[in-house]
């Protein structure tokens, strides 16, 4: 078996560090994008202020041309000075624009506007002649062109900056979507990885525990590749399964001994008959030996041997049943298993006034099972039936083949006191019994359930209070390839 070379702790730490690194990388990218958006928003605010200042400059310029007021020129100089100060104090931020105009170009535009404004201011008090009026018109046109140039430049900056912010927001959105997709994929990969590394072995152990609860002590196959922790856990779990199987076998054997104790009185009566016959025949032979012919003596000796053989068979059947052996599955005739078990309780059935009816067709196929443990199953059911019919009754045993011919169905029905409905769901639980103290341990049906499950079969019970109970056993029919491992009931 290939030994694992990793530990769960190391794998989890690696997955955690990988996830943390991914989060850190996306956080750095997100931080850069948001920081750039912050710079661009501040620059947008600056270009907007500059654009609004130039708009105010154009407004007072228009007022001057309309009303020829000297105050408008003073306001124009104030806004022009404010625009110059704003540009010079934030020159570094303005240069962050994608394609800003060369710094001397904007500065020269401001200087030319200032120069033209000064010329107009100088000519305003002396206005009146036609030549002066013509020069004023020329200066007015130059001032309008220069002001429009300043307005176009600042407006271009503002639009460009808004476009850059829109692009940054789109980039942030794309980064967000990518991060969601990446983290979702990462989560799926980590979940699949953890499921394969942790959940799957745990589920395998859970299924094994469910099988143990049903009497199947098949050990878990150790995974070819897994963590060192699970290797140790699987081995410990298999050791536990082995111990449970040993204790289960001991429990079955203890139930056999308990059943032998239950059968003692019946066996004693059954042995008493052949022993009495032997004693009486031997006394007759002793008293009349000299007067008997050889044929008469041979007949009495033959009777003694027959009665001895009968007693020997009774004891042998009891010993065979109580002997602890390793279960071996084989092809068994169900009729023979039931008949051998009935022999063990035949005298008790007679003493209890119970009539046995059997409906077991002789042409039924053989089942796949282990004789001693199946005898334990039927013996438990027969003893329970006897104890349920205190005033006598009817014990019916029927066997039939399922429609698919893969399963044998055996019904064991009594006409006893029945089982309360609230007890039916717990009837197969260990140590659960409705009998009086001293008459049962609550292990008989639990052991029966485990044996049937280990055979790959199933057992069910139906009962009505005062009318009796029916235990239905389903066992697999013998097939050539079925002896290696039992298959579950569909």
332 backbone dihedrals φ, ψ, rounded to 5°: -125, 140
Contacts of 363 (CB under 8 A, 6+ apart): none
Last residue of a domain, one of 179, 204, 229: 204
Instruction: Identify whether residues 197 and 263 lie together within a single domain.
Output: no
Nearest by Cα to 343 from 366, 375, 309: 375
Q: What is the pTM of this model?
A: 0.45
Annotate 397-450 with DSSP letters as a single string: EEEEE-TTSSEEEEEEEE-SS---HHHHTTTTSTT---SPTTS--S-HHHHHHH
pLDDT at 487 over 50: no
Instruction: Identify whether residues 299 and 435 lie together within a single domain.
Output: yes
Instruction: Identify whether residues 253 and 181 lie together within a single domain.
Output: no
Of the listed ranges 210-214, 368-372, 380-384, the least confidently predicted one is 210-214
Of the listed ranges 223-227, 230-234, 305-309, the least confidently predicted one is 223-227
Nearest by Cα to 135 from 145, 127, 147, 144: 127
Tens digit of pLDDT for each residue in 74-88?
888 898 888 888 887
Question: Containing domain of residue 274, as a range?
Answer: 241-476
Of the listed ranges 148-152, 194-198, 212-216, 435-439, the least confidently predicted one is 435-439
Per-residue confidence (pLDDT) for residue 3, from 0 to 100? 47
Residue 234 located in a structural domain: no
Tens digit of pLDDT for each residue in 148-189?
888 888 888 888 888 888 888 888 888 888 888 888 888 888
Is the backbone of residue 436 left (phi > 0), alpha (psi -120 to 50) or beta? beta
Cβ–Cβ under 8 Å, residues 220 and 237: yes
- Please state the rounded mean pLDDT for residues 203-228: 67
Per-residue confidence (pLDDT) for residue 410, from 0 to 100? 94
Residue 221 located in a structural domain: no
Instruction: Identify whether residues 408 and 461 lie together within a single domain.
Output: yes
- Please state the rounded mean pLDDT for residues 398-413: 92
Residue 483 located in a structural domain: no
Kindly state the greatest CA–CA separation across the chain.
189
Per-residue confidence (pLDDT) for residue 190, from 0 to 100? 76
CA 111/CA 141 separation, integer angstroms: 16
Per-residue confidence (pLDDT) for residue 202, from 0 to 100? 73
- Return the C-alpha torsion angle 276, 277, 279, 280, nearest 10: 110
Residue 489 located in a structural domain: no
Instruction: Identify whether residues 197 and 251 lie together within a single domain.
Output: no
CA angle, residues 271, 273, 278, in degrees to nearest 5: 100
Annotate 44-74 with DSSP letters as a single string: HHHHHHHHHHHHHHHHHHHHHHHH--HHHHH
Residue 228 located in a structural domain: no
Per-residue confidence (pLDDT) for residue 441, from 0 to 100? 39
| Pairs from 218-224 (Cβ < 8 Å, separation ≥ 24) | 222/1, 224/1, 224/2
Instruction: Identify whether residues 144 and 266 lie together within a single domain.
Output: no
Q: Which CATH number is 87's domain given?
A: 1.20.120
Residue 359 burial (CB count, 10 A): 10
Proportion of the chain above pLDDT 90, given as a percent: 11
Q: Which CATH number is 333's domain given?
A: 3.30.565.10
Instruction: Identify whether residues 94 and 188 lie together within a single domain.
Output: yes
pLDDT at 32 over 80: yes
Per-residue confidence (pLDDT) for residue 140, from 0 to 100? 80
Residue 156 located in a structural domain: yes
Per-residue confidence (pLDDT) for residue 4, from 0 to 100? 46
Instruction: Identify whether residues 170 and 250 lie together within a single domain.
Output: no
Per-residue confidence (pLDDT) for residue 451, from 0 to 100? 83
Instruction: Identify whether residues 198 and 72 lie together within a single domain.
Output: yes
Higher pLDDT, 105 or 83: 83
Instruction: Identify whether residues 12 and 107 lie together within a single domain.
Output: yes
pLDDT at 37 over 60: yes
Residue 145 located in a structural domain: yes
Residue 167 has which token pair?
């692009």
Instruction: Identify whether residues 245 and 190 lie together within a single domain.
Output: no
Per-residue confidence (pLDDT) for residue 433, from 0 to 100? 59
Of the listed ranges 179-193, 291-305, 420-434, the least confidently predicted one is 420-434
Per-residue confidence (pLDDT) for residue 5, from 0 to 100? 47
Mean pLDDT of the chain: 76
For the chain, the domain total comes to 2
Residue 171 burial (CB count, 10 A): 15
Per-residue confidence (pLDDT) for residue 326, from 0 to 100? 58
Per-residue confidence (pLDDT) for residue 357, from 0 to 100? 93
Instruction: Identify whether residues 173 and 319 lie together within a single domain.
Output: no
Residue 219 located in a structural domain: no
Per-residue confidence (pLDDT) for residue 74, from 0 to 100? 86
Higher pLDDT, 386 or 127: 386
Last residue of a domain, one of 204, 225, 253: 204
């Amino acid at each position: 078996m290939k030994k694992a070379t990793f530990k769960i702790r190391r794998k989890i730490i690696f997955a955690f560090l990988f996830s943390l690194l991914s989060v850190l990388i996306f956080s750095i990218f997100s931080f850069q994008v948001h920081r750039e958006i912050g710079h661009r928003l501040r620059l947008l605010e600056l270009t907007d202020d500059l654009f609004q200042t130039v708009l105010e400059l154009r407004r007072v310029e228009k007022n001057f041309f309309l009303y020829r007021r000297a105050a408008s020129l003073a306001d124009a100089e104030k806004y022009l000075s404010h625009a110059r100060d704003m540009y010079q104090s934030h020159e570094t931020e303005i240069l962050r624009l994608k394609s800003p105009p060369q710094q001397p170009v904007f500065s020269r535009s401001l200087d030319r506007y200032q120069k033209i404004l000064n010329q107009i201011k100088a000519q305003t008090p002396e206005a009146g002649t036609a030549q002066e009026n013509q020069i004023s018109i020329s200066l007015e046109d130059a001032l309008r062109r220069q002001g429009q140039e300043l307005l176009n430049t600042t407006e271009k900056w503002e639009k460009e900056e808004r476009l850059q912010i829109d692009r940054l927001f789109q980039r942030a959105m794309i980064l967000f979507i990518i991060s969601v997709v990446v983290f979702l994929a990462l989560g799926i990969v980590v979940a699949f990885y953890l499921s394969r590394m942790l959940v799957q072995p745990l589920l395998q152990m859970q299924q094994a525990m469910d099988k143990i609860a049903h009497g199947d002590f098949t050990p878990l196959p150790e995974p070819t590749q897994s963590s060192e922790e699970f290797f140790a856990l699987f081995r410990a779990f298999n050791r536990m399964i082995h111990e449970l199987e040993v204790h289960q076998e001991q429990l079955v054997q203890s139930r056999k001994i308990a059943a032998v104790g239950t059968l003692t009185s019946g066996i004693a009566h059954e042995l008493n008959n052949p022993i009495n016959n032997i004693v009486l025949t031997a006394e007759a032979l002793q008293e009349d030996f000299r007067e008997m012919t050889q044929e008469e003596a041979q007949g009495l000796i033959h009777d003694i041997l027959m009665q001895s053989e009968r007693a020997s068979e009774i004891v042998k059947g009891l010993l065979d049943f109580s002997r602890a052996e390793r279960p071996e599955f084989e092809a068994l005739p169900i009729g023979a298993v039931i008949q051998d078990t009935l022999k063990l309780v035949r005298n008790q059935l007679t003493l209890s006034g119970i009539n046995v009816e059997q409906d077991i067709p002789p042409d039924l196929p053989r089942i796949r099972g282990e004789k001693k443990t199946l005898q334990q199953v039927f013996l438990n059911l027969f003893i329970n039936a006897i104890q349920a019919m205190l005033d006598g009754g009817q014990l019916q045993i029927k066997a039939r083949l399922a429609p698919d011919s893969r399963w044998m169905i055996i019904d064991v029905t009594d006409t006893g006191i029945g089982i309360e409905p609230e007890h039916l769901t717990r009837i197969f639980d260990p140590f659960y019994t409705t009998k009086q103290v001293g008459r049962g341990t609550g292990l008989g049906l639990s052991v029966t359930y485990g044996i049937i499950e280990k055979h790959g079969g199933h057992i069910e019970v139906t009962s009505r209070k005062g009318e009796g109970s029916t235990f239905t056993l389903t066992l697999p029919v013998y097939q050539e390839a079925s002896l290696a491992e039992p298959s579950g009931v569909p």
